[in-house]
């Protein structure tokens, strides 16, 4: 998955945090919901403007960011 097509960062939106498709839903929001135990289906029900690909893009973005942090620290 190429999360770059879904994740956007705009300086004036949500304090420059990574968001989904130029919406005001941040990657951190989705990751927090998943960490709290919500399923993909529950998130999609609560936020019908999101797609399964959006959720997967958030996970891919987080994984890529983690890899870059580890690489930078070694």
Give the span between the Cα atoms of 37 and 40, in whole angstroms.
10
Give the span between the Cα atoms of 35 and 23, in whole angstroms.
21
Which pLDDT band holds residue 68 (cuts at 50, 70, 90)? confident
pLDDT, one tens digit per residue, over 4-49 is 999 999 998 999 999 999 999 999 999 999 999 999 999 999 999 9
Evaluate if pTM is beyond 0.85.
Answer: yes
8 A C-beta contact, residue 54 and residue 21: yes
Residue 74 has a pLDDT of 61
Residue 72 has a pLDDT of 72
Long-range pairs of 31-39 with CB within 8 A, sequence gap ≥ 24: 31/58, 31/59, 31/62, 34/59
Query: CATH topology for 3-73?
Result: Arc Repressor Mutant, subunit A (1.10.10)
Asked whether residue 54 carries a pLDDT value surpassing 80, the answer given is yes
Give the span between the Cα atoms of 69 and 40, in whole angstroms.
26
């Amino acid at each position: 998955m190429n999360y770059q097509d879904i994740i956007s960062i705009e300086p004036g939106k949500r304090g420059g945090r990574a968001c989904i498709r130029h919406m005001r839903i941040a990657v951190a929001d989705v990751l927090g919901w998943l960490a709290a135990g919500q399923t993909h289906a529950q998130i999609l029900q609560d936020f019908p403007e999101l797609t399964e690909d959006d959720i997967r893009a958030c996970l891919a973005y987080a994984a890529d960011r983690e890899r870059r942090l580890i690489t930078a620290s070694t």
